[in-house]
Amino acid sequence: MKKLFYLLAVFSLLISCVSKKNQAIKQNILTLKDSYCKAPFKYNYSNRLPSYNSDSIVEANKNLKTMFSDQSILILNALDNLDEVHKIVELKKDSSLASQVKILQLKTKINSRITIALTELDAVAAEFDCEGERVAQIGNYVDNLNSSRNNKLILYSIIAGAASSIAGGIVKSDGWDNAIGIGGGILGAGFGLATLNPKGKKVEFIHQRNLLRDIWRERLESPNFPPFIWYMYTEKKFSNREEHSLISNMKTRWLHYQFDDDKAAADQSVIFSDGGFYRADDLHNRAAMLNQMQSATRTINQNINYLLLDLDKLIL
């Protein structure tokens, strides 16, 4: 009888340790539950988006095509700097000092707009990065919860088997001996089967400022993105093949790789809501999508780099 008592005492101690560990994990989850990535100051960007009549814009500025690529012309239009460039082209016909000073002043104005655009890109990419890290952290916590749960159930299964064996040795009645053995076997099997839960635990995760929602819907419905960044996301001329926009291509990849081409399930996913209860797979998918958008945002710097090179050639 003493053996059974000691076994139960050890069992209770192990449960207590696991419980304390889970409480610590849940407390850590609370610190990640709501976003710490959003900017402390909310800037109200203008709702005005640049024109999407790209062919008309390029045609109207065809005199610049010998100096700028079509993409550079469209960026200048989006930054509202085409007038300054046309003035520089005219001023270059005059080699006077006053003309040179005016050219430098105009270039400074253009550079100022480009600097703002670059900082907007950096800010958006940084928020994607921060959100990706936040989701990855809580995803790891859920993985730990699932792992802890499975380890605990395996431990219970072993203890149940051991307890039934010891109890069977103590109880001499054949009827009770068989009942204890069968009960212990069923209990151990039950704990073992419980570890096969393919989805695992859920955790609440909030993101009212959802950077992925506008991307998925392909509509700017929030103040999450500056108009220039959104234009670069949605203008087809800035994608590789110029057939679909950057975010349209991104959405196609998400639908295929993250949602197995099930658009109805994707539309209803917690990933594009204000938040809710996530399983580990959903958290890992969200982290991957945020990291993909961070990379896509940073690639826009290449377009601006080409524009800066064209501008330098114009001024020289």
In a domain, 44, yes or no: no
pLDDT at 244 (0 to 100): 93
pLDDT at residue 114, as a whole number:
97
pLDDT (average), residues 257-276: 94
Mean pLDDT of 92-121: 94
Separation between Cα atoms, residue 175 and residue 179, nearest integer Å: 6
pLDDT for position 155: 43
Beta-strand runs (E) in the chain: 202-206, 275-279
- Would you say 3 and 166 are in contact if contact means Cβ atoms under 8 Å apart? yes
pLDDT at 189: 43
| Mean pLDDT over the full length of the chain | 80
Alpha-carbon distance 25 to 171, whole Å?
41
82 domain-assigned: no
Between 66 and 29, residue with greater pLDDT:
66
- Region 166-173: what's the mean pLDDT? 50
Query: In the predicted model, is pLDDT for residue 221 greater than 90?
Result: no
Any domain includes 206: yes
Q: Cβ neighbours of residue 4 under 8 Å, at least 6 residues apart?
A: 163, 166, 167, 170
pTM: predicted TM-score of the whole model, two decimal places: 0.76
**Average pLDDT score over residue span 60-80:** 95
Q: How far apart are the first and last CA of the chain?
A: 96
What is the rounded average pLDDT of the residues 166-188?
48
Asked if residue 40 belongs to a domain, the reply is no
Report residue 179's pLDDT band, with 50, 70 and 90 as the boundaries: very low
* Percent residues over pLDDT 70 in the chain: 71
Within a domain: 90: no
Residue 194 lies in a domain: no
Which of the residue ranges 34-43, 84-93, 241-250 would you say has the lowest mean pLDDT? 34-43
What residue numbers bound the domain in which 240 lies? 116-145+202-315
Query: Residue 91 pLDDT more than 70?
Result: yes
On whether residue 135 sits in a domain, the answer given is yes
Residue 192 lies in a domain: no
**Does residue 188 register a pLDDT over 80?**
no
- What is the Cβ-side half-sphere exposure of residue 108, based on CA atoms within 13 angstroms? 6
Residue 46 host element (H or E)? none
pLDDT at residue 191, rounded to an integer? 38
The yes-or-no verdict on residue 123 having pLDDT over 80 is yes
**Into how many domains does the chain fold?**
1
